[in-house]
Chains A and B, each alone.
Chain A
């Protein structure tokens, strides 16, 4: 077990804390039943073995990572719940396994993942390549679903914490207190299971379970407006010891200087070591606290890392990330609309391609002939488009495109849609709140300014080794855009009986008129004595002097 906490101050003065707990299990789940689970949680191990899962990534997120202001995230997840799974080639009925898997995970994590069905599952062709060892990539073994409406709360955190070997009793996990974690701008907890090489020679395969939790603490929500941070201030707890089961337990604090000046941050107590690495294209310096080293807890029983800003933050020198995006809905009224995505490439001289994956529910009918991509005022044709239109009540739209982003440009992608009228039972209990459209996914290999060395997975910090990097000149980034909230026209929910009656009345009017005309014939009317009304009318007529009826 390796546990790690990364504290990175963000340009706006907030602090992001990323926890990663990595358990490596040297067992081969493929061959035969395994019964001795040591640190790997039994629930997940049995799941992987029984359903033939090769890779599993589940993320539950509340809030939105503001890439423009906070920089590139180490690992972003879209708002709500996101689940993507690669199955083993031996699985014959992938859809059945997917349905079972989402139901079981729904139980394990107390999240309503059982709402994942064919209407929100897609099969991306290019965006989600396996992150672990892979033997050929038939994309029919991949399933991806996102539930943007999902809410994350303490109920989801507790089972997540229970999967950790030490629970929340020792090590870094003591800091995970729900009342502080959810009092934040962004909270994302994730579970990643993938097969990795057991050692450098890669003869045998191990299973790796990574549990990550990213939380961003807001300057203002923590009160007092002061920008000094400490572990106690953020988590209302301090670290007392490392998890006894951990082979490595470290706290990294990002103290990179900006613009080649001296550090802006002062960290107390003094770190055990300083680590330098190239992460996401930038040279970064980290202060490292090794919880397993005996010297750390010599002076005090608990470790409370404090960060003080040496000089005031200058908001004008906020660095802009190389790739960031935003998405919004255009148009007015409840009949049509337009989804607009803006992608910014702020690299001064390098152009690079980005894969955009959009999944839109079936009730917003996309018109792909209205798709326009405009960069710097000119049309930009994507080199690869995969479009799968939606089928009503069965599957959503899937649009995947490979777009080349020129250096220092803004690309605007627009596509028009029509809003459908649904059956009255298909609306959620609050129909005028609107319907959520899941975040779109941007995957790109961003060229980095500084060359990155190929590092050994075991030695480097966890936050550098989540995404495999193929060469040193670029790093992989996966960004998510905002989820959208779209209103649909609603029928009047109080009217089913009235509508049925009135429509059937109209049909009956036709039927009645035609029945009369078809079955009756004209006859000369025989005179009749007249009823009471007629006689009364005749009396009045006689009085008036008008001819009688």
Chain B
């Protein structure tokens, strides 16, 4: 499977010995990191095992010579008017301050040049202490964040401990890396509280993941950064922070 990764192996003998005992299956299947160790157990539902697992092989691809650009090609040639105008969310921002994290989103969604909705919910509750935002493709964001909620819950049940924000954002980033180049469009922020306090991560559809204090994603983000940077203060009160997000 061509993944475009270049892995350099260390030449020292001791390291090679260690490698011999490691499980290197991830080199051929990067999806391993996106699923979690117990993916097979999760997907087997006994007699009702009929839902397909969320696996890269399970998404049907069009029988053309370049399946990953199929959606773009159809859009360009106009054979299916309106089909590939997926709903897109526009501007979201988030910042960490002394008392926690503020997430501010607008509520418009566009479908091509048509305003799909003026009342979209762009903040997705992954669980009661983790939030994800939606910028980019609405279906992509809501589907994968819902999937992330399932993985987080499984983690909680197995380890009897809430998942850290770093781990949750890493899972999401690995999923996007797996589908890199196939046309997913997502700029999402994962925000939450864990043992280390409030954390904010920005996860991109190319699999990039950054931890930070202030982020804005979407078409209005340059303007949002301007307002945010000028008035941000880590020690502001909750009311001031909410007002800044609103502005």
A binds B: no
